[in-house]
Structure 1
Amino acid sequence: MTARVGVIMIHGLGGTQYDLGSLHKILQKAGIDTHAVTLSGHGTRPEDLIPVRAEQWIDMLIAQYRELQPRYEQLHVMGMCMGALLALVLCERVGHTEKQGKLVTLAPPVYIDGWSTPWYANLRSLCYLIPGVASRMKVEEGEPYGIKNTLVRAVVKAKFERGDNFHYRWVPMACIRQVDRLRSWVFAGARNIKAPTLIVHAREDELTSLRSAEFLQARLADARTVVLENSYHMICVDNDRDQVANSVLEFFGFPPLPERVRRQRGTVA
């Protein structure tokens, strides 16, 4: 009898399960049960993020983990962008080990220092100190939308212009504060994470540099890093998406995508 394998998949800030591209379908075809999370304040309107605190996301994930974990011989945890930070904190808080499953961090923004980060971004802590400012300030999504592939970027831009509800067009500065709190928890607790961890990070990530991957590689007890050479931040939908999928499949102990599928997907790029 085949061992039951599941994975909790955590999207990024302002996003939805579409942040992870086709990974849901790819993992399901491999025989893995996928459990997509919609974090509090997401899937509705950006203003709903203003009162949300990082503790709410963590509490939600811990509850789901404890509900799902007894059902599986292996329950993996995977997160994209802010979801990667949440995945790290979750695994540290619940004591996730190799016996329970593995951990995958996709483009983890331990440092927010990518090539498109403006110099004044480090001044955001001052905004947090002034009552009401962080709630009123908007952080807009803009070119290149984390995507190097020009065709995919054009599709995403058209979706934004149509108002498709796949990702918020902006997020409140108050929510960036919660991301910064998550980052501080990762800094403090990374050494306590025991689960085997896969770190996938693009060399040209415009949001977070390779320093994030290097930090985790150095701090985690059992980690391996895959560096992508032809993507920006949204690695699950960009040029290296098949490399991301195959890296995850291999890490979980499953065969890679068939060559025919890779060729077909490559024609879209």
Structure 2
Amino acid sequence: MRTTTCPPTPSPARTAALLIHGLGGTRHDFGVVYRQIGQTGIDTHAITLPGHGTTPDDLSDTRAEEWLDAVTTVYRKLLAQYDTVHVAGMCMGALLAILLCAREQHSVGRLVALSPPLRLDGWSLPWYQRLRHLLYVVPTLAARIKVEEKAPYGIKNTQVRRIVESRFARGDNSHYSWVPLACVREVDRLRRWTRREAARIACPTLIVHAREDELTSLESANQLQRRIPHAEVSVLENSYHMIGMDNDRKQVASQVNDFLLDHPSSGCRSMPMAQRVSRST
């Protein structure tokens, strides 16, 4: 529970949230977080990134610059329509959200990074995945190699995992069952840019990361917290990578909502949530 004293805030209709999904995904990557944000009165705008929502082959020639251009275009349109614009990203979308906020010097809202993969060092990844960089230099090879989604699919909850498996089996395009190695190369480029530019972020930032994330270790969140000037980290204890739909999904949705509703421009001062681990100063 928080005790808050602040002047009147803008109408909720004048507040928007730009949601950026992960590699091979759609807005469904956010799970219950997407619905919960909308129920607060914040207008949600979930972008579908270039190469997504169709077939995995469309990702073969897609570059990181195209993803950044797409989110920047939507972001600037929202700035012209709303008083407050929040930015939230899941997995690769978290890297895009960080870069967007750094390059645009975002200051009229907050930033949420869910499971940001600054490092690809999760417990489920084979040792030889580090050799992928050698494959990048062979012309056309990376576009022809398929990186398949495999169990546990980022899900610790066995019931939810079965639902995800059934979606893959029937070809549901809410999330691709595989992606070309070429777009993993583009994510690696985003990771390098994020390391270099994260320190430029000017807005309050919440990083939510599972301790048992099978794709990217908790060190990703820790490194980002050290780089981003006003960052807090929330550590989840009962989820894997897809935290918006796993065991801790209600906790994630609640933390994100509380963070976004504490508008940075309103002058509110709140006691931090018990679940947050605040950056030491």
Q: TM-score range by the shorter chain?
A: over 0.9
Structure 1 position 132, deviation (Å)? 1.4
- 2:114 is the counterpart of 1:106: yes
The residue number in structure 1 matching 2:206 is 198
- Secondary structure of 2:233's aligned partner: strand
How high is the TM-score relative to the length of structure 2? 0.88
Partner Cα separation in structure 2 for residue 166 and residue 184 of structure 1: 28
Structure 1 residue 162 displacement after superposition: 1.1
Q: Which residue of 1 aligns with 2:228?
A: 220
State the secondary structure of the residue aligned to 1:71: coil
1:2 is the counterpart of 2:29: no
Q: After superposition, where does 1:152-163 map in structure 2 within 5 Å?
A: 152-163=160-171
| Paired AA for residue 11 in structure 2 | T
Question: What code does the residue aligned with 2:135 have?
Answer: C
What residue identity is the alignment partner of 2:136?
Y
The match for 1:259 is: none
Say which of 146, 156, 172 aligns to 2:154: 146
Write the deviation string for residues 208-257 of structure 1: whole angstroms up to 9, x where unpaired: 00000000111101010100000000000000000100110110126xxx
For 1:194 and 1:140, the matched residues in 2 are separated by 37
Query: 1:128 aligned to 2:136?
Result: yes
Q: Does 1:169 align with 2:177?
A: yes
**C-alpha separation between the residues in 1 aligned to 2:236 and 2:33?**
16
Distance in 2 between the 1:87 and 1:58 partners? 9
- CA deviation digits over 1:140-191, x for unaligned, max 9? 0010000000000001101111111111010000000000000000011011
> Are 2:244 and 1:244 equivalent residues in the alignment?
no
**In the aligned structure 1, how far is the partner of 2:63 from the partner of 2:34?**
27
Other-structure match for 1:25 = 35
Alpha-carbon distance between aligned partners in 2 of 1:178 and 1:56, rounded to the nearest angstrom: 10
In structure 2, the residue corresponding to 1:160 is in which secondary structure? helix
* Structure 1: distance between partners of 2:166 and 2:225: 37
Identity of aligned residues (%): 57
Q: Which residue of 1 aligns with 2:90?
A: 80
1:58 to 40, 63, 68: 68
Amino acid at match of 1:248: V
Which 10-residue stretch deviates more, 25-34 or 36-45?
A: 25-34
Distance in 2, matches of 1:118 and 1:248, equals 32
1:70 deviates by 2.2
Q: Distance in 1 between matches of 2:67 and 2:223?
A: 23
Instruction: Work out the CA distance in 1 between the residues paired with 2:172 and 2:70.
Output: 26
Kindly indicate whether the alpha-carbon contact (under 8 Å) linking 2:32 and 2:250 is maintained by their aligned counterparts in 1. no
Q: Residue 201 of structure 2 aligns to which amino acid in structure 1?
A: I
SS of corresponding position for 2:80: helix
Distance 1:30 1:49 in 2: 34
Higher helix share: 1
The number of aligned residues is 252
Q: Classify the secondary structure of the residue corresponding to 1:105.
A: strand
- How far apart are 1:194 and its partner, in Å? 1.1
Equivalent residue letter for 1:85 = L
**What is the aligned partner in structure 1 of residue 26 from structure 2?**
16
Q: 2 CA distance for matches of 1:151 and 1:41?
A: 30
Counterpart position of 1:262: none
Give the secondary-structure state (helix, strand or coil) at the position aligned to 1:36. strand
The residue that corresponds to 1:210 in the other structure is 218
After TM superposition, give the deviation of residue 73 of structure 1 in Å.
1.6
